[in-house]
Amino acid sequence: MIKPKIAPSILAADFNNLEKEIRMLNESEAEFIHCDVMDGVFVPNISFGIPIVEHVKKVAEKPLDVHLMIVNPENYIEAFAEAGASWLTVHFETCPHLHRTVNHIRENGMKASVCLNPHTPVSALEDIITELDMVLLMSVNPGFGGQKFIHHTYKKVRQLKKLIQESNADCLIEVDGGVNYETGKKLVEAGANVLVAGSFVFGSENPKATIRNLRNI
């Protein structure tokens, strides 16, 4: 079984020591640095925006995996490209013109990813799966860290993997929410390639060891 890529979410990092946290991730086996951008409109929380992403980019040696939990994400694509995002994820639920938005992301030199909330079926992506570099499945309702894992996600990962294979798409499967050693192992077995982990990594005694252990589950 291929080892999953780990994308620690800095939403759970110590923002009083953010540079130190990013340097720790640079030294770790993490593949990406996951940045959760929330607007308090699409999700019931506000996190951080473009200035923080810019500051993280100045220190980060790993690609920035930026997840936009915001309304009208198409208005900010160029700004996040300039801020240093390598991957940009928009929500299916906020994009009435999804093909246009995905093309715009790619035109700005980033990898394009679409996120599905827990209630949104995988079948919603049938017409665009071949255009995507990654699909992010939320395994909690977006907005807050440390939530309980939704077990229906395993089925959605298997459904998404089947859709990717049947469509001959070249697309990673990322999962965010409630990821730990137990859920992570089952997600990888179901077909996930990328695991986002926030509080499980940053709340551990040795985050670098936790990242390494997640890669080797």
Buried b / exposed e over 136-166, threshold 16 CB at 10 Å, is bbbbbebbebeeebbeebbebbbbbbebbee
Residue 36 falls in the annotated catalytic set: yes
How far is residue 61's CA from residue 170's CA, in Å, rounded to a whole number? 25
Structural domains present in the chain: 5-215 (3.20.20.70)
User: Would you state the pLDDT for residue 142?
Assistant: 74
User: Would you state the pLDDT for residue 68?
Assistant: 97
| Catalytic entry in 39, 65, 133, 176 | 176
Beta-bridged to residue 88, according to DSSP, are 66, 112
DSSP H helical ranges for the chain: 18-27, 50-59, 77-83, 98-107, 153-166, 181-190, 199-202, 207-215
Contact 191, 161 (CB under 8 A): yes
Residue 14 falls in the annotated catalytic set: no
Neighbour tally for 172: CB within 10 Å: 18
Contact 119, 147 (CB under 8 A): no
Q: Provide mean pLDDT across the span 176-203.
A: 96
pTM for the whole thing?
A: 0.95
| Catalytic entry in 36, 39, 65, 133 | 36
100-110: per-residue pLDDT in tens? 999 999 999 99
How far is residue 183's CA from residue 28's CA, in Å, rounded to a whole number? 21
Q: How is residue 194 written in tokens?
A: 């990328």
User: Would you state the pLDDT for residue 146?
Assistant: 60
Least confident of 44-53, 69-78, 139-148: 139-148
Phi, psi of 139 (to 5 degrees): -105, 10
Contact 76, 70 (CB under 8 A): yes
7-46: per-residue pLDDT in tens? 999 999 999 999 999 999 999 999 999 999 999 999 988 9
